């Protein structure tokens, strides 16, 4: 049964029961008050039903969108997201370093014939508008050819492997943008047969606990701007089941080694969409000794030669290059075997060399040819460590076109090292702002919230006294019951859905309010107690619906999601306080004035809403971190600035270190042990 119809029927039944109660059981002198209460309650119920109907009408309007429309909307969002990510990684300008690839020679994948044969599994076929990939095309090539190779595979399965810093993630982003460009330029008849690529990591997936389809659906719904709650999951399921999305999975090497064979086995047997898997070569060899991804072609990215590195660096320099650069480039063009030659075997170190010795910076007395000094840099690792350490100094040095740094390189290094250690201890690459409170003791938040409530809410509760007791209990119960799981920065914190949340908020708030209203009955009238109890429940559910309409939507940036979280909880609290104070003021108008009651209850609601938000907990944590670890007080501002300086990047609503090797270095781990994501 539809939720509005259920609520309407319930309201009608309660109204009839109330009428029978008034007519048959109440003394005549109390009937006028009871009748007034019934009229007010009916008006409140009508408000709830109207809001619920409005929300459901909006949901039905969104439901009318066809899968093709949803896919087009997803493609627009994905293109915007990854164009900005590519710009952050400087993959668009200057042109990225061309990376060679060859087919993996070891026993890490199926025979080529299994991927290129015309026989295909259900739901997978070559992408429309792309010629079928032939076996001879899989011998070798360059990264800008990867989309054509992948799109022409009838099996729809590709593995891209390489060492740390080989450029797997960068190649995947460029492949994704090529796929979206191909889809955008296709005709209307073909466009909707070309899947929309989505890219996310395998981190956190346990194939033994969650089937492939459920995990893919949950990931797509969580990370992309579909409808909130179960409707977004249903839309993701439709897109996945009808072949309208293809999946790029990064970081097979970042899940526990025990889970990797199971992950490949589950993907091989259950995945029905086009699939690209990114992983380090060593982990791929280890995992495929037990399980391969059937039907997949495995390609391995190759290290650029020193002459290729020299040509790429020369493109970013004046012509002719400065003396110190000319000396380094000449050395790279030679056949010598120095630590610098070995270090520049990955796109990561080449990019670091270009960025940290930029001719527009004013770092004194240091020139790139110092890297040729084998006494100072006896190993390739020493060269890499020097470039990683210098990256922060270069980023926080005054540069044309960038604002003046908000802090010194020392403060920036200390802050980034602290963040890196926190992420390292949790085994993740993602810095979510709503996880910052977990970096501080829970007891601190309890003490701060207690003190805040005592200072702000104590006088209000003292003034209102017993009048707000019933409303407080009913509203708190309703809010707690209607509240969903912890905020994830992208989805509305009410996973039960709008209708179920309203129903639970109404029933829970009414029952809790009835208990509180019973206490009012001990010092007041029965009508007053019933009014407080029942209308508190209506207030809770009404506040839930109103806040839900203005709640946070899925947004692609950390700052947007934080503002959405704060807006949601302040709206929730203010509406809850206002609606909770209204029945108190109306039923006890002889004891206190309505404006005073509404002011007190609204202030209480705002305070409760603020302290319920992830933004509040994050703000408290930032103060603690500033005092204890000398972290910048405005940590969010620092992270946004670090992103502009190309030390961090954003993926959806979370931050990541632009080079994961830099994260490992700052955290005190072994540099180069984890793919840096270039």
Residue at token pair 């602290």: 418
In this structure, is residue 246 part of a structural domain?
yes
CA dihedral 270, 275, 278, 281 (to 10 degrees): 70
**What average pLDDT score do residues 406-432 get?**
90
pLDDT at 613 (0 to 100): 79
Q: What range does the domain containing 582 cover?
A: 3-64+442-612
Q: Token pair of 162, please? A: 């390489």
In this structure, is residue 345 part of a structural domain?
yes
- Give the pLDDT band of residue 233 (cuts 50, 70, 90): confident
Residues 372 and 507 in one domain: no
CA distance 367 to 331: 14
**474 vs 378 pLDDT, higher one:** 378
Q: Is there a contact between 140 and 102 (Cβ–Cβ < 8 Å)?
A: yes
In this structure, is residue 546 part of a structural domain?
yes
pLDDT at 418 (0 to 100): 95
Mean pLDDT rounded to a whole number for the chain: 75
* pLDDT surpassing 90 at residue 247: yes
Residues 249 and 191 in one domain: yes
* pLDDT surpassing 50 at residue 524: no
In this structure, is residue 641 part of a structural domain?
no
pLDDT at 217 (0 to 100): 93
* pLDDT surpassing 90 at residue 2: no
Residues 185 and 234 in one domain: yes
CA distance 69 to 79: 15
Pick the last residue of a domain from 379, 402, 425: 402
pTM score, whole prediction: 0.70
Helix or strand or coil: residue 9? helix
CA distance 157 to 143: 17
* pLDDT surpassing 50 at residue 487: no
pLDDT at 265 (0 to 100): 94
In this structure, is residue 497 part of a structural domain?
yes
Residues 10 and 114 in one domain: no
Residues 468 and 494 in one domain: yes
Window from 35-49, 405-419, 657-671 with minimum mean pLDDT: 35-49
Residues 52 and 115 in one domain: no
- Give the pLDDT band of residue 595 (cuts 50, 70, 90): low
- Give the pLDDT band of residue 402 (cuts 50, 70, 90): low
Segment of 162-166, 238-242, 493-497 carrying the highest mean pLDDT: 238-242
Pick the last residue of a domain from 577, 612, 647: 612
Q: For Cα atoms 247, 251, 252, give the angle at the middle one, nearest 5 degrees.
A: 90
- Give the pLDDT band of residue 152 (cuts 50, 70, 90): very high
**β-bridge partners, 432:** 654
Burial code of 563-595, b = ≥16 C-beta within 10 A, e = fewer? ebbbbbbbbbbbbbbbbbbbbbbbbbeeebeee
Residues 324 and 340 in one domain: yes
pLDDT at 644 (0 to 100): 83
Backbone phi, psi, residue 200, to 5°: -155, 175
pLDDT at 516 (0 to 100): 44
pLDDT at 476 (0 to 100): 46
In this structure, is residue 313 part of a structural domain?
no
Indicate the length of the chain as a whole number: 678
pLDDT at 286 (0 to 100): 93
- Give the pLDDT band of residue 449 (cuts 50, 70, 90): confident
Secondary structure tally for the chain: helices H, strands E: 26, 10
Residues 227 and 261 in one domain: yes
- Give the pLDDT band of residue 582 (cuts 50, 70, 90): low
**Rg over CA atoms, the chain:** 30
3-state DSSP percent of the chain in helix, strand and coil, to 5:
60, 5, 30
- Give the pLDDT band of residue 675 (cuts 50, 70, 90): very low
H or E stretch including 458?
helix 442-464
CA-based nearest residue to 595, from 571, 578, 611: 578
pLDDT at 549 (0 to 100): 43
CA distance 229 to 548: 12
Q: Give me the number of domains the chain comprises.
A: 3
Residues 187 and 270 in one domain: yes
**674 vs 504 pLDDT, higher one:** 504
CA distance 183 to 250: 22
pLDDT at 505 (0 to 100): 45
- Per-residue pLDDT tens for 77-111? 999 889 988 887 778 877 788 889 999 988 898 88
**What average pLDDT score do residues 224-233 get?**
77
Residues 100 and 249 in one domain: yes
Q: Token pair of 429, please? A: 């690459």
Instruction: Please report the beta strands in 404-490, taking only residues with DSSP state E, as ranges in sequence order.
Output: 431-432
Pick the last residue of a domain from 594, 612, 630: 612
- Per-residue pLDDT tens for 387-398? 998 888 888 887
Q: Token pair of 650, please? A: 């954003």
In this structure, is residue 496 part of a structural domain?
yes
Backbone phi, psi, residue 322, to 5°: -60, 160
Q: Largest Cα–Cα distance of the chain, in whole Å?
A: 107
- Give the pLDDT band of residue 315 (cuts 50, 70, 90): confident
Window from 26-30, 618-622, 636-640, 658-662 with minimum mean pLDDT: 26-30
Residues 528 and 393 in one domain: no
CA distance 557 to 489: 9
CA distance 272 to 240: 8
In this structure, is residue 416 part of a structural domain?
no
The enclosing domain of 203 has a CATH number of 3.40.50
* pLDDT surpassing 80 at residue 567: no
- Per-residue pLDDT tens for 287-300? 999 999 998 999 99
pLDDT at 215 (0 to 100): 93
CA distance 263 to 258: 9
Which whole-number Å values give the CA distances from 632 to 25, 388, 636, in the listed order? 66, 22, 9
- Per-residue pLDDT tens for 181-198? 999 999 888 898 999 999
pLDDT at 477 (0 to 100): 38
CA distance 281 to 651: 24
Instruction: Determine how β-strand 275-280 pairs with β-strand 157-162.
Output: parallel
Residues 398 and 478 in one domain: no
């Amino acid at each position: 049964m539809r939720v509005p119809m259920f609520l309407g029927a319930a309201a009608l039944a309660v109204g009839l029961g109330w009428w029978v109660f008034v007519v048959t059981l109440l003394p005549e002198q109390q009937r006028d008050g009871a009748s007034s209460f019934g009229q007010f309650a009916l008006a409140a119920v009508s408000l709830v039903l109207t809001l619920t109907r409005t929300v459901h009408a909006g949901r039905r309007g969104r439901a009318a969108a066809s899968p093709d429309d949803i896919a087009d909307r997803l493609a627009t969002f994905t293109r915007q997201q990854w164009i900005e990510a590519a710009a952050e990684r400087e993959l668009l300008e200057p042109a990225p370093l061309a990376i060679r690839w060859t087919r993996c020679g070891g026993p890490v994948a199926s025979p080529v014939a299994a991927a290129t044969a015309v026989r295909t599994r259900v739901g997978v076929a070559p992408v429309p508008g792309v010629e079928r990939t032939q076996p001879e095309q899989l011998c070798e090539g360059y990264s800008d050819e990867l989309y054509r190779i992948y799109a022409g595979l009838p099996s729809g399965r590709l593995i891209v492997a390489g060492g740390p810093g080989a450029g797997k993630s960068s190649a995947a982003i460029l492949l994704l943008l090529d796929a979206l460009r191909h889809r955008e330029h296709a005709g209307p008849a073909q466009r909707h047969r070309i899947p929309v690529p989505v890219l996310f990591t395998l981190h956190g997936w346990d194939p033994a606990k969650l089937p492939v389809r459920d995990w893919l659906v949950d990931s797509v719904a969580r990370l992309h701007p579909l409808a909130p709650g179960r409707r977004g999951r249903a839309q993701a399921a439709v897109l996945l089941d009808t072949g309208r999305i293809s999946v790029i999975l990064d970081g097979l090497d970042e899940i526990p080694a025990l889970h990797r064979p199971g992950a490949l086995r589950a993907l091989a047997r259950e995945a029905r969409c086009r699939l690209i898997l990114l992983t380090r070569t060593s982990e791929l060899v280890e995992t495929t000794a037990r399980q391969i991804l059937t039907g997949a072609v495995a390609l391995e990215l190759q290290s650029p030669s020193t002459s290729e590195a020299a040509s790429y660096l020369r493109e970013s320099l004046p012509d002719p290059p400065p003396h110190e650069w000319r000396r380094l480039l000449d050395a790279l063009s030679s056949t010598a075997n120095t630590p610098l030659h070995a270090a520049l075997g990955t796109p990561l170190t080449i990019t670091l060399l270009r960025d940290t010795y930029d001719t527009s910076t004013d770092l004194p007395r240091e020139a790139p040819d110092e890297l040729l000094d084998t006494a100072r840099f006896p190993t390739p690792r020493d060269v890499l460590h020097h470039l990683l350490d210098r990256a922060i100094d270069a980023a926080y040095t005054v540069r044309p076109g960038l604002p003046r740094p908000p802090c010194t390189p020392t403060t920036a290094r200390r802050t980034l090292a602290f963040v890196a250690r926190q992420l390292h201890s949790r085994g993740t690459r993602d810095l979510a702002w709503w996880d910052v409170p977990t970096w501080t003791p829970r007891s601190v938040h309890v003490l701060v919230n207690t003190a805040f409530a005592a200072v702000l809410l104590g006088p209000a509760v003292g003034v209102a006294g017993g009048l707000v007791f019933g409303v407080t209990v009913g509203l708190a119960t309703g809010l707690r019951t209607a509240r969903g799981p912890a905020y994830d920065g992208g989805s509305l914190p009410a996973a039960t859905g709008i209708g179920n949340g309203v129903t639970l908020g109404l029933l829970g708030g009414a029952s809790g309010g009835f208990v509180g209203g019973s206490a009012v009955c001990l010092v007041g009238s029965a009508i007053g107690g019933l009014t407080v109890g029942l209308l508190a429940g209506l207030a809770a559910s009404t506040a839930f619906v109103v806040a839900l309409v203005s709640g946070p939507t899925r947004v692609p940036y950390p700052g947007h999601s934080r503002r959405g979280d704060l807006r949601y909880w302040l709206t929730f609290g203010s509406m809850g306080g206002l609606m909770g104070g209204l029945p108190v003021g109306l039923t006890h108008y002889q004891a206190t004035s309505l404006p005073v009651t509404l002011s007190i209850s609204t202030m209480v609601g705002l305070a409760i809403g603020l302290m319920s938000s992830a933004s509040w907990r994050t703000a408290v944590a930032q103060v603690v971190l500033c005092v204890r670890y000398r972290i910048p007080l405005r940590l969010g501002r620092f992270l946004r600035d670090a992103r502009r300086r190309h030390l961090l990047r954003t993926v959806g609503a979370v931050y990541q270190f632009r080079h994961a090797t830099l994260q490992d270095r700052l955290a005190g781990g072994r540099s180069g042990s984890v793919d840096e994501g270039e």
